Chains A and B, each alone.
Chain A
Amino acid sequence: METFIEEFGTIGGAFLATLTLAAISGALSLVWGTVLAAFRVSPVGPLRTVGTLYVEIVRNTPLTLMFFFWVFVAPSLGIIAPIGFRIAVISLTLYTSAFVCEAVRSGINSVGIGQAEAARSIGFTFGQTLTQIVLPQAWRSAIPPLISVLIALVKNTSVAAGFAYAEMVAISQRLTNRNPVDGLFIFFGIGAMYLVITIPLGILAQRLERSMGFAR
């Protein structure tokens, strides 16, 4: 208990570190994931292949392996990224974007074919169909799964603890090693801080899903 209070500054800093990491890699993976989704639904065959390969490979490998790649393997290929924050952002972004891609893609697929057909039949161009008819609806059904992906991302930032980035799990480990007696409190405190982020997001996703389920 005492350690938790005394070290609250450190813990608060770690909380911010986790949040920063999640926010930056979240924003980047939204962008890259959407690009990948565009690849996967595009009419151009090679792009689809690239998108599919990327998503399949990333989804079937552990995030730890992604970190391992950037920390240990990439340098032998001549790509040297500074360990810590930047490697964490790169790994989390590349990993999460595969899941973002799938969420966006299933959003696009959930739009009824009739919608696009109707748009075309009243003379909309491809661009108009996409931007005014399909994407607005795709977004709606993609948002709840996207929030789930972000929740997973928040928890996944903890993997950075194993690769030299001082976020919450790394700090909890450090503090516990220093004060083994207070371990229980430290872990409960850190756990609560994760829940403060993840549970509201989960509730938000549920609400949105419920309110959107019947709107269309």
Chain B
Amino acid sequence: MSGSVLYDAPGPRARRIDRTLNIVFSLVLVAAAAGAAWAMQQRGVFDDRWEVLWDPPLGQTAGDVWTSLGKGLGRTLLAAAIAAPIAAMLGGALAILRAGARRRLVATSATVLTELARGLPVLLLMFFAKLVLGWSPLWSVVFGLVVYNTAVIAEILRAGIAALPRGQREAGLSIGLSRMRTTLIIELPQAVRIMLPALVSQLVVLLKDSSLGYIVAYEELLRTIKLNRDFFGDRYTIPMFVVGAGIYIAINLALSRLATYTERRLREGGGGRGLKPPEIGPTGPIPQSGVGGPAREEGASAGDPVFGAGRRPESHPVPQRRPGETEEERRRRAYYGDPTSQSIRHNTGGDPGGGI
């Protein structure tokens, strides 16, 4: 594994051990997979039950099955498509209030609102809309998604605004803009830009949370799967489940890729303005929660197996702390580039990487 803290470049002996371990563990894994497959075969997992996907029983056609699945997927996407823009707008508004309101009271209540909405389970919010407000399943789902994601988006944007160089706000104020207008036309656009990866990852969380509709009787993808299974019988559970899980994984992986891609573009200065997204850090801008859970531990690229395995692009490796440098200076360097390579030399204590 490249660049790990844990081990040195391997010598001949280590390489030998490595190779042995690799072979041994590969064999063990292959054996385990084969064992599992055999057990499934014994239980008839690979028999004709898969025909439900192209030649279903009970007088149905394959078209019927796939149409119903398509409708389920459509309803999942519908809930997400209604909730996401609303949450984005409300979240933006909350972030603006928090950063730009002149009155302490307004800013504080925006903060409190965010905290409250973030601390509640999405399912509770959905049940609230359904049972207390008496809304339809679709709108209950949308309500839960909107309330929670509004709070998260507000928090992401706040983190983005906080990560901007302070000069941005000072410049806005010094040319006579009000605080609100400074936030609105100077800070927020930049915050959205640098937090784009986090915002896209939040879409994954939103889409995953829409599956809670299963519990509040909204006929989204998962419930459609369940209905199909109930209709065709227990025997057909596995093919149905595999299709459903496949759809979820495909969509969410595509979105995660998109997040990684935007992040890489931003880091490599694709748009040209040279603002680097803040390191979202191991915690993320916020303690993330919700059924989605944390979608990004070290930026959107966290754990992406193909595009980076959570590594930064080679052109921007995570800077290590240099001798004589405080942690804060290291971070600053991580965000804003290396001051020593620019015309203004900061006093970072000697040669980069050199000893004291």
Contacts and interface: CB of A to CB of B under 8 A. Distances in A.
B322 to A, nearest CB: 9
A195 B119 contact: yes
Contact of A72 (B127, B209, B226, B291): B226
B321 A112 contact: yes
A199 B115 contact: yes
A99 B124 contact: no
Contacts of A180: 131
A121 to B, nearest CB: 10
Interface in B98-128: 115-116, 118-124, 127-128
Contacts of A62: 208-212, 222, 248, 291
Contact of B290 (A117, A155, A183, A215): A155
Contacts of A148: 283-284, 286-289, 294
Contacts of B235: 76
Interface in A71-99: 72-73, 76-78, 95-96, 99
B289 A152 contact: yes
Contact of A190 (B3, B4, B124, B225): B124
Contact of B122 (A50, A110, A115, A155): A155
- Size band of the interface chain A makes with B: 35 or more
Given A68-B222, A99-B294, A155-B291, A199 B119 contact: yes
B139 interface: no
Nearest to A173: B127
Contacts of B282: 103, 106-107, 110, 141-142, 144-145
A56 interface: yes
Contacts of B298: 106, 109
Interface in B125-139: 127-128, 131-132
Given A68-B222, A73-B238, A173-B127, A149 B4 contact: no
Contacts of B83: none
Contacts of B123: 158-159, 161-162, 169
B309 interface: yes
Contacts of A205: 283, 287
A49 to B, nearest CB: 8
Nearest to A199: B119
Contacts, number: 260
Nearest to B5: A116
B343 to A, nearest CB: 28
Interface stretch (B37-45, B86-94, B183-191, B267-275): B37-45
A21 B328 CA distance: 39
A184 B288 contact: no
A50 B29 CA distance: 9
A8 B294 CA distance: 33
Interface of B: 1, 3-8, 10, 18, 21-22, 25-26, 28-29, 39-40, 43, 45, 115-116, 118-124, 127-128, 131-132, 204, 208-212, 214-215, 222, 225-226, 229, 234-235, 237-238, 241, 244-245, 248-249, 252-253, 256, 282-284, 286-295, 297-298, 302-303, 305, 309-310, 320-321, 326-328
Given A43-B21, A134-B5, 11 more contacts: A62-B291, A64-B291, A72-B229, A96-B293, A106-B302, A117-B8, A120-B8, A155-B121, A156-B121, A180-B131, A213-B327
13 contacts: A61-B252, A62-B211, A62-B222, A63-B211, A64-B222, A72-B226, A77-B40, A99-B294, A109-B298, A148-B294, A155-B291, A172-B124, A202-B118
Pick the 3 closest A-B CB pairs, nearest first.
Answer: A162-B215, A148-B287, A62-B211
